[in-house]
Structure formats: structure tokens, C-alpha cells
Chain A
Amino acid sequence: MIALSHVTKAFGPKQVLTGVDLVVPKGQSMVVIGGSGTGKSVLLKCILGLVQPDQGLITLDGQDVRTAEREAFLARFGMLFQGGALFDSLRVWENVAFRLLRGPLKRPKAEARAIAVEKLRRVGLTPETADLFPAELSGGMQKRVGLARAIAAQPEIIFFDEPTTGLDPIMAGVINDLIREIVTEMGATAITITHDMSSVRAIADRVAMLHDGVIQWTGPVAEMDNAPDPYLQQFIHGRAEGPIAAIR
């Protein structure tokens, strides 16, 4: 279980998170929605310790993440970055198998490669892509390689930052199914950031909406459509008119 209580973060004068309270139960799929620039990516980075929150407490299974042994803590996580964040000096398969080629999870090279090719197949990429460099791929393909890398070492907790942006609708469907499958079959805990409402419905057990630095609404996905929150309603129906200003 991941719990955030009253987490704040500012960059200089810019208040991004002003008091985030959120609980993500173990083995559940949480989807975070919210306008662009509201701090969704920053929220994930705070949990991972890539960004230090100014105030507040973040716990994983009851333990403060700041006091956790870093190596062991990070080994439980997989993360797909918004921009893919592939290592451009390494081939695609070496990116996917990064954790399996060094460190405590190290395997023989052939085995690591086989796992990488299998993960690539699961995100809809052919074995031929394995030997290319990231710069030779399209944006959507890079995203999927990033996804394959995030799940390669079978982490218990996976963060997906906009997994389907830049993908065609069919590929987006494939990725949605994959994320759902990882949570259901592997029992992983997932936090997914997305703007795509069809993704939300396909992936989520629970939904949280971030707005103005706080979680504006959170609840089971089934309750989302009938929730009275005007911010949430404006967002899920994509209306220009409503409490959320179009210029932010």
C-alpha cells in the first residue's frame, strides 16, 4: 500500500502540489487524471524519491520512503517515464534488459536477451526492433520500449506516466489490456497517469483527479460517472466550460 499524506512541492515560487492525500491499496490499479502541468509526473517522482517533497509523508507498506533502504526500495518499482527516457547509447534489448544485465538480478546475456524479446513482443514490437538503437524508433515505439523496460524485472509496483499518448488507437488498446493484465495476473500495484478516458475505463480500479495541487476527487471507477464533483465532470466530458480554467 502506498499512502501520501499532505505532500507539498514547490519549484521556486511555483506551488505544484499543495497538500496531496492519496492511498493506493496493494494490488490495485490507480489512475491519476488531471490537466497537463498539474503535477502528476511530479507526484510519481516524489513517491520514488527522484524529487524531494517539501512537506508531508509518503509511506510504502507503512514505512516512510525516506528511511527505506534505497536499493531494496527501488528494486520493487518499475517506471515508464513520460518521454520514454531510453538510454540512447544502448540497443533496444539492452534497455529492456537493463536490470537483468547488471546488479543483483543479473542473468546470463542470452537469457536476458530472450526475456527482453518476450517483453517487446508483449508491447507489440517485433524481435527485429531488439537490435536497433532508440533513436531509430518512432515516439510511440520508444514509449512501448520504455513500457517493456518497466515491466521486464517483474516489479511489484509499476508507475506508468502517460503510457498511451502518441499511440494509435489499436496500439493504445493493446497497452491498456497489457497494463490491466499485469495488475490482475501478477498482482502488481499500479499507478497510471493518463488523459485518455477510454484508458481510464480500461485500466482503473480507482481514479484520482489532481487539480490545483490537491486530489480533487478519488473513488472507484464505477462511481466516477455519477460523482457530483464539477471539476471531475468537466474533465471526463472534456468540456471547455466549467470550473477548470482553459488558460492555466
Chain B
Amino acid sequence: MTGFLAALGRPVLAVLAAFGRVALYAVQTLASLVRPPFYTREFLAALLHVGWLSLPVVGLTAIFTGGALALQIYAGGQRFNAEAVVPQIVAIGMVRELGPVLVGLMIAARVTSSIAAEIATMKVTEQIDALVTLSTNPLKYLTVPRVLAGTLTVPLLVAVGDIIGIMGGFLVATGQLGFNKATYIQNTLDFLESADVVSSLIKGAVFGCIATLIGCYHGMASGRGAMGVGQATKTAVAAASILILAANFLLTSVMFGS
């Protein structure tokens, strides 16, 4: 019995300890953010990499999802003679849930992985040590610019994803399901509330922060050699994805639960 409890307890403790370390890392990052120096060039590079260059991936994901959503809602709605709700449900589904979650997961795939691999490689090749000896704090030079860029640009990506997702639904609904274009747009706009949009952006900011922070953390914590880099990248993407989904559930319960 004690053996069983110990076997159960060990992974739980390990997860809690990992949470503690990530939380500590987040606090240190925040503390570094408010103290100079601030590396503007690294920040601009991160904006480009995290934000701008993620647009194609986000756009493609959103448009196909919006289109598929319209088809499903139409098919499901028909059973209750409620197929007319397509514009409203596509809008709310994209903006409240699918937009932020899909963008978050795509960012975890694209950005978390590349940050983790890059920083882990720097660790393995002693570039992080070199930074320290050149009187540069790696937290300020590497982590702060990336996390800030993620927190600021992912909400914008989510907004773009929301719009393109609704567009995807619109294209399928008007092109294939016989909806009137003007009415579709009118219904969408009438139905969406500003709280929906705000919740979408908040989720985007949180997910952007998680994706970049976790990438940096696992990169810095990388083991030695090429295997260490691979391991760090894999763990970072898995951890970021799960944390994003868990945070999404939490945020949805807080913002829409009552």
C-alpha cells in the first residue's frame, strides 16, 4: 500500500516541483522586465519572429476551421430546424474558443519549439555561459524580449485568426449552403458582444506568454548534447500545449462560467 502511494506521490511531487520552478522563472522574468537594460533589437526581432512570421500559419488554420465549423453547425442545426444559427455559432465559437485555442496551439508548435531549440542549442554550445561572461544577463537578453513579444503579438494574431475563421465560415455558408451575404455579416455583427472579443484577446495574451515563457524555460534547462536539445524541445511543446489548454479552461470558467 505504501509502495503504491509512493509510486503515486512521486510523479505528483515532480509535477508540483516543475510548476514551482516555472513559476519562479516567471517571477524572475517579470523582475528583469522592469529593470534596465532593455534590449530593443532583440525585442524587435522577436516581434517579427513570433508575430509577423506566424501570420500565414494562423490564417490557414483559422480559415479551414471556420469553414468546417460552418458545415458542422449547418448539419447539426438541420436536425432541429435551426440551421439559420450558423453565423452566430461560428462567430461565438471562433471568437470565444477556437480562435484563441488554435492560435495558441499553433504558436506552441511554431514558436515554443523554435525558442526552446534555439536557447537549448545556445546552452549546449556554451553561448549562454559566454553571454554571462560578457556581462549580459541571459534572462534579460533572451527571455524578456521573447516573452514580451509573445504576450503583445499573440492577441493580435488571435484577432486576425478570429476574423479569418469567421471569413472561412462566411465563404462556406454563402458559397455552399445558400446563406445571403449581407444577412450573414449582419447576424455575425449583431450577435458578437465586446466581451467576447475582449475574452479572446485576453486568452491570446495569456497563451502568448505561456508559449514563449515555457520555450525559454525548457531551453535554459536543457541537458547536454544534441539529445538534450531534442528533449528540451519536445518537453517544451508538450508542456506549453497542455498549459495553454488548461489555462483556456480556467479562463473560460472565470469569464463565462456564471
Contact = CB atoms under 8 A, between A and B. Distances in A.
A82 B127 CA distance: 11
Nearest to B127: A85
A79 B135 contact: no
Contacts of B127: 85-88
A79 B132 CA distance: 10
Given A102-B37, A102-B39, A103-B37, A74 B135 contact: yes
B125 A103 contact: no
B227 interface: no
Given A102-B37, A102-B39, A103-B37, A83 B125 contact: yes
A160 interface: no
B134 interface: yes
24 contacts: A45-B129, A48-B132, A50-B129, A71-B135, A74-B133, A75-B135, A77-B133, A81-B126, A81-B129, A81-B130, A82-B126, A83-B125, A85-B127, A85-B129, A85-B130, A87-B130, A87-B131, A88-B127, A98-B136, A99-B135, A102-B136, A103-B135, A104-B135, A149-B134
B135 A50 contact: no
B132 A50 contact: yes
A139 to B, nearest CB: 12
Given A81-B129, A98-B134, A103-B135, 13 more contacts: A45-B129, A48-B133, A50-B132, A74-B133, A74-B134, A75-B135, A79-B130, A81-B126, A83-B125, A85-B126, A87-B130, A88-B127, A103-B37
Contacts of A83: 125-126
Contacts of A87: 122, 127, 130-131
A50 B136 contact: no
The 8 closest A-B pairs by CB, nearest first: A85-B126, A85-B130, A79-B133, A81-B126, A74-B135, A50-B129, A98-B134, A85-B127
B133 A50 contact: yes
Contacts of B136: 98, 102-103
A63 B233 CA distance: 40
Interface string B127-152: 10111111110000000000000000
A43 to B, nearest CB: 14
Contacts of B126: 81-83, 85
Nearest to B45: A89
Give the residue among B39, B125, B133 with the most A Cβ atoms within 10 A. Answer: B133
Interface in A73-110: 74-75, 77-79, 81-83, 85-88, 98-99, 102-104
Give the residue among A102, A103, A149 with the most B Cβ atoms within 10 A. Answer: A102
A48 B132 CA distance: 9
Contacts of B130: 79, 81, 85-87
Contacts of B122: 87
Contacts of B37: 102-103
A87 B127 CA distance: 6
Nearest to B129: A50
A77 B136 CA distance: 13
Nearest to A41: B126
Nearest to A146: B130
B219 to A, nearest CB: 14
A78 B164 CA distance: 52
A98 B41 CA distance: 13
Contacts of A45: 129
Contacts of B133: 48, 50, 74, 77-79
Contacts of A81: 126, 129-130
Contacts of B129: 45, 50, 81, 85
A86 B131 CA distance: 10
A137 to B, nearest CB: 14
Interface string A11-52: 000000000000000000000000000000000010010100
A59 B37 CA distance: 29
A74 B125 CA distance: 20
Contacts of A48: 132-133
B5 to A, nearest CB: 28
Interface string B161-200: 0000000000000000000000000000000000000000
Interface string B8-44: 0000000000000000000000000000010100000
Interface string A98-138: 11001110000000000000000000000000000000000
A102 B37 CA distance: 9
B227 to A, nearest CB: 16
A137 B100 CA distance: 43
A87 B121 CA distance: 11
